[in-house]
Amino acid sequence: MNQRLSKFQAWMKENDIQVSFITSSENVFYLSGFYSDPHERLLALGIFQDDEPFLVCPGMEKHGAKNSGWESEIIGYSDIDHPWEMIQQAINKRSKNISKVAIEKEHMNVERYEAISNLFPNATFISAEEKLRKLRMIKDAKELKTIEEACSLADFAVEVGVSEIKEGKTELEILSAIEFALKKKGVTEMSFATMVLTGANAASPHGNPGLTKIQKGDLVLFDLGVVVDRYCSDITRTVAYGDINEKQKEIYDTVLNAQLAAIDASKPGVTSADVDLTARRIIAEAGYGEYFPHRLGHGLGISVHEYPSMTETNQLILEEGMVYTIEPGIYVPDVAGVRIEDDVYITADGVKVLTKFPKDLQIIRQ
C-alpha cells in the first residue's frame, strides 16, 4: 500500500468515514499513480479504512492502469456495461454499515451524485477535497525533482520566445515557435494555454494572444508552463522590445523589487499573507496599488493552481515542501503591463527558486 493512500486512510479512520469515492483525474493520480483523462466516462477510486481499494476505469485503459503500478483491484467497464452495478458489487464485498462517505463535492456532477446516493441512501456525504489539498500541498523529493524539470523546460520556452521577437511578428507566431521547440524536445502538454502578449494586450492580466504585431517600444509578456510527468511549471517574464519610456521602466522596476522582496520573505514559519503583503506594500508605496488586482501567487503541482493560495488574508503557515508561484504584476491600461513570475520551493530554512530565466530588464534589439 502506498504512503499517500495510508495517510488518507488514517484520515478516514479519524473521521469515521467508511468509504471514499475519488473521481478527479488529479486526485486519482495522486493516490493511485494512474493518470487518465476519461473524457465523459467514469474514473474513480474506491477507498476503505482497511479493505482493499479498487480503481474503476474504462476497460480499454485497464492495461495502462496495471502498468502504472496499481496493484489492487481494477474494475474495467465497456461502453455497454453498467459501471455503477459493478461498483455496488465491489463495495458490498468489502464494507457493511456505511454511514459516512467522502466524495469530491466540487468535482462530482449531479448525475453521479444521484447514482452514489442510491447506493448509500442513509449515508452522510462529506467532502474529501480539503484533506487532499492539504496532502498534495507538501511535495516529496520525487515530486520536487519533477517540478524542477518542468521549470527548466519553462525557462527554455521563455528563452525561445525572447529569441523569436522581431518587428512585425504576431503574438501567435511567437507562441507557435515556442511550442514547436518544446514539442521537438518531447513535451506533449502545456500547463495552460500559452500567453504571448504585447503592447496594450500585456496590460491585461489575462489577455488572449492573437494577430497583434510586435512593435518597437512594446513590452512583451510571456506566461507559460510545461507539464512533465503530470506536474506543472508556471513562469512569466516581461521583456522590452527596443527602448521603452521612463514610466514603463519604473513599472518594471517596481514589479521586480516586489517580486524579489517576496522571494526573500518566503521561509518556513511565515504566513502566506506575510509574503503577499511584502510585495503588495512595495507596489502600493510606489503608487500602483490599484493596478495589482490579483493575489501574489498560488501553489502548483499536479494542478497548475492548488494550495497554498498566496493571498493577503491567508494565515496559513508556510512549511518545508510547499511549492508556489510569486507573481506580482502591475497593469496600467495604455501604459504598461508587467508581471514577473517564479516558482519557488520552501526548504528547511529558506526558499529555493526553481525557475531561473534572468529577471533584470532585458531590452531586445534584434
Footprint on this chain of Mn ion (rule: CB under 5 A) = 223, 234, 236, 325, 341
Q: Which is nearer to Mn ion, 53 or 328 (CB)?
A: 328
Place of cell 489575462: 206
DSSP per residue, 73-101: EEEEE-TTS-HHHHHHHHHHHH--S--EE
Cα separation, 320 vs 318, whole angstroms: 7
Among residues 236 and 272, whose Cβ is nearest to Mn ion? 236
Is residue 127 within 8 Å of residue 156, measured between CB atoms? no
Smallest distance from the beta carbon of 297 to Mn ion, in angstroms? 6
The angle at the Cα of 135, spanning 84 to 140, to the nearest 5 degrees, equals 120
Least distance between Mn ion and beta carbon 250 (Å):
23
Question: Cell 500500500 maps to which residue?
Answer: 1
Nearer to Mn ion, 20 or 325 (CB): 325
Q: Are strands 306-310 and 297-299 parallel, antiparallel or unpaired?
A: antiparallel
Shortest spacing between CB 95 and Mn ion, in angstroms: 41
Could you tell me which of 280, 305, 293, 275 has the C-alpha nearest to residue 332?
A: 293
Give me the least distance between CB of 301 and Mn ion, in Å please.
12
Q: How far is the CB of 334 from Mn ion (least distance, A)?
A: 23
The three three-digit cell numbers of residue 302, written as one number: 499536479
Which of 234/274 has CB closer to Mn ion?
234
| Shortest reach from residue 102's CB to Mn ion, in Å | 29
**Residue closer to Mn ion, measured from CB, 234 or 306:** 234
Q: Which is nearer to Mn ion, 61 or 341 (CB)?
A: 341
Please, are residues 67 and 36 in contact by the beta-carbon 8 Å criterion?
A: no
